[in-house]
Amino acid sequence: MENNEMKRYSFATLCVHGSGGADPATGAISVPIYQSSTFKFKSARHGAQLFAGEKEGYVYTRLGNPTQSALEKEMAFLEGGEAALAFASGMAAISAVVFAYCRAGDNLVSTNTLYGGTHNLFMETLPRFNIEAREVDTTNLENIINAIDDKTRLLYIETPANPTLTITDLRACAKIARDYKIPLVVDNTFPTPYFQRPLELGADVVLHSATKYIGGHGDTVAGVVVGKKDFIDELRANFLRDLGAVISPLNAWLLVRGLKTLAIRMERHQQNAMKVAKFLQFHPKIKRVWYPGLTTHPQHELAKKQMAGFGGMISFEIKGGRRAGEQLMNAVKLITLAVSLGDVDSLIEHPASMTHSTYSEEELAKCGITESLVRLSVGIEDARDLIQDLSQALRKVKV
């Protein structure tokens, strides 16, 4: 199915049927798991041609695998990109993109509210390679412009941001990136291509922690990058090959399977999140709720403009601070106290001490990640059961 055919069908239909076509080798409708490290050559000449890139084919799974290729084809198709590359984790994908663009002495400009692992890469690891990450509040576009100089090699945006759900204007960022002739890289993990399509908004590269909503079931760890074919070819040749962060065939297959139900899961995540957010918004023990679907969210109108939906992530501040948050998290019965997100199960955690513990106290304060902030990844259970669980847990909280 060609990209121009996407307009004929809804995204939900495209998720199920993908780019079309059965497995070319077997005719299997379900993508086979090619659980092999090595592939046989037809001849010595054929092997040499494969290594030289003169012919397409498979040599060794670190360099590519048919199951991995099937995942990459579908991710590129659904994001509307030319090509994609899968990695063993989201952090591997982010690292590869940064090192593809930056050399010693360069810098990047980034959202200051990021997944904790990304922040640690930017603030702790990149300086070892003499690469500077300039994290700024990208909801104010002037901050981005002021941070760019002649050594800036990319603009990195995570929106909605983890865990505050702040929204950055992607169209405006794309214009800034074009003006300064640098690529715009967007982490699209929270909304997925179902709710947000960064390439259509002007981004150059989209990446995912596919561990989250793409997989959707908490049973695999992976990352995916989508962009122009020449850039993806560079990533494969110079970073996946050399650094070896290769996805396993089984994990690639789990993600292909996850894409089949992406649309229906994202709809249920969003429906539940809206109901839970509204419940929390008016609860006397809740200080503030962060959810882009609420009219009280400071970037609600921008979210409506650049997203097709608001996703399944909620953050909220509870009265009584960290102690009250701990009481709440210890009291839930149905919701699981665990990190990660995007699972069919609802997950609750404390960013300041868990996923964002890589931030200093000063950095947490600057990003609005308070001691009382709780992050909730709303699953696909019955929303009434989730609200009932939160209600009974909140009754036990002393504020």
Please tell me whether residues 41 and 189 are part of one structural domain.
yes
Mean pLDDT of the chain: 95
Please tell me whether residues 301 and 256 are part of one structural domain.
no
CB atoms within 10 A of CB 278: 15
Q: What is the model's pTM?
A: 0.94
* Residues 127-177: tens digit of each pLDDT: 999 999 999 999 999 999 999 999 999 999 999 999 999 999 999 999 999
pLDDT at res. 27: 87
The rounded distance, in Å, linking the Cα atoms of 101 and 182 is 9
* Residues 105-131: tens digit of each pLDDT: 999 999 999 999 999 999 999 999 999
62 catalytic? Reply is yes
Q: Is residue 255 part of a domain?
A: yes
**Neighbouring residues of 199: CB distance < 8 A, sequence distance ≥ 6:** 79, 80, 81, 206, 226
Strand, coil or helix: 163: coil
DSSP letter for each residue of 269-327: HHHHHHHHHHHHHT-TTEEEEE-TTSTTSTTHHHHHHH-SS--SEEEEEETTHHHHHHH
* Domain total of the chain: 2
Q: Is residue 2 part of a domain?
A: no
Domain residues for the domain of 152 are: 7-260
Please tell me whether residues 150 and 73 are part of one structural domain.
yes
Catalytic member of 58, 101, 115, 291: 115
323 catalytic? Reply is no
The rounded distance, in Å, linking the Cα atoms of 294 and 316 is 12
Please tell me whether residues 254 and 269 are part of one structural domain.
no
**Neighbouring residues of 125: CB distance < 8 A, sequence distance ≥ 6:** none
Q: Is residue 158 part of a domain?
A: yes
Work out the average pLDDT over 257-261: 97
Catalytic member of 134, 137, 169, 187: 187
CB-based contact 47:55 (threshold 8 Å): no
| Residue % of the chain over a pLDDT of 70 | 98
Catalytic member of 23, 62, 257, 285: 62
Catalytic member of 212, 236, 265, 375: 212
Residue with tokens 């701990």: 326
CB atoms within 10 A of CB 89: 19
187 catalytic? Reply is yes
Residue 5 binned pLDDT confidence (cut-offs 50, 70, 90): low
